[in-house]
Amino acid sequence: MQAEKMWEVSTGAGITIAVVDSGVDPTTDSLQGQVLPGIDASGAPGEASDDYTGHGTTMAEYIVGTGKNGGVQGLAPGAKVLPVRGSIEGLKDAEKWAPTSKALWAAARSDAQIINLSVGGPPAAGEEDAIRHAISRGKLVFAAAGNERQEHNLVSYPAAYPGVVAVAASGKDGEVAKFSQKGDYIDLAAPGVDLPKWCDEKMQSYCPNGGGTSTATAIASASAALIWSKHPDWTANQVLRVLVDTAGRKEKSEVRSRYIGYGAVRPRIHLLEGEGDPGDPDKNPIETVELDASPPASPSPEGDGSEDAKSGDKAGADRVEKASSEAAAEESDNDLWIYLGAGAAAAVVAAGAFVLVRRTRRT
């Protein structure tokens, strides 16, 4: 991605990303001065700065980390993160705390331009209303596509809600990750293999089992921040249109792939080469968002039409099925791993995406 050259054009300054997750510890070397006072919408003991798992802190570092003292170098170090702690699996007795929709509403009502949802699971009451509100306020919402393609590949929410940008994970070779879920709701892809993460809430060391669509989502959010910072007068639709226009895919197509959507995010193509048409400021480039649409009552397994989750997408039958080769970007962005993993141990992916805790869990 040629990060250092991109930072000469944009670092994400002036952009705030709400990270709805397990909390964000602002005291890590890489996040000092990068995190705004947060919102605890979980109802759990502690504050938004108390991350009992390390997941939210890891996501924040991939977005705005400075890389100080060998920490993770984020892609948009000039931006700021607004932590919104929700009822995330991994919090002690998380099922007792507030519904996840409360965290989504908090993010929707915040001043953040971008909402990062490196979480996933079945749909739950109140979530889609919060998403619609966020979109109506001009926010750009990214969510993890899910890491269970090799298991049951159920449609993942909030990624599949209309208007949300669902992000798949790709590896260093540009191929879609084996674990990354597929479906008609996938919009873009980003690196999500062989990347470090904080081991736990102690924040003492990185572990070699990070990555997943969670990390890919954080990188996509950071990519959007770089573009929006350069064009602060653009709408969320225009920022997304440029991400779609400049996405890397061997065979460019107006039809989304069920594996990588329109391709892998490449903000450098716009920032350094000036490509990408922002288009109509009021038109969503990936679908028609029905603001009064309702989510399915429950997720459905692959093969029964459940992959056609989003509105405005009628070409499901014509999608390319092969994950190999089509997921490769037109040009390699392998140097991204150098910047994101600077000073951290080399990681081997463990596709353990976080799961939103539901009041009523699917059995």
User: 282-340: per-residue pLDDT in tens?
Assistant: 999 987 544 333 333 323 222 333 344 564 333 322 222 333 334 344 343 444 544 44
**Considering only CA atoms, which of 79, 127, 138 is closest in space to residue 103?**
127
**Class of residue 236 by CB neighbours under 10 A (exposed 0-12, middle 13-18, buried 19+):** buried
Which member of 22, 25, 30, 55 is catalytic? 55
Structural domain total, the chain: 1
pLDDT digits (tens, 9 = 90+) for 172-194: 877 888 889 999 999 999 998 88
pLDDT at 160 over 60: yes
**Whole-number pLDDT of residue 151:** 78
Structure tokens at 18: 């709400």
pLDDT at 112 over 90: yes
Q: Which residues contact 277 (CB under 8 A, 6 or more apart)?
A: 241, 242, 245
Is 357 part of any domain? no
Is 90 part of any domain? yes
Known catalytic membership, residue 156: no
Which member of 10, 21, 49, 257 is catalytic? 21
Average pLDDT over residues 103-117: 98
Q: How far apart are CA 20 and CA 14, in angstroms?
A: 19
Average pLDDT, the chain: 79
Known catalytic membership, residue 55: yes
Q: State which amino acid sits at residue 348.
A: V
CB-CB contact of 75 with 219 (8 Å):
yes
**Considering only CA atoms, which of 348, 352, 355, 362 is closest in space to residue 180?**
352
The pLDDT-based confidence of 93 (bands split at 50, 70, 90) is low
**Whole-number pLDDT of residue 249:** 80
Is 319 part of any domain? no
Which member of 22, 170, 180, 214 is catalytic? 214
What pTM did the predictor assign?
A: 0.82
CB-CB contact of 319 with 256 (8 Å):
yes
Is 352 part of any domain? no
Is 302 part of any domain? no
Domain range spanning residue 226?
3-290
CB-CB contact of 38 with 48 (8 Å):
yes
Structure tokens at 64: 């705005």
CATH number, residue 98: 3.40.50.200
pLDDT digits (tens, 9 = 90+) for 47-73: 999 998 899 999 999 999 999 998 999
Is 43 part of any domain? yes
Is 251 part of any domain? yes
Is 355 part of any domain? no
For 61-84, the three-class secondary structure string (H helix, E strand, C coil) is HHHHCECHHHCCECCCCCCEEEEE
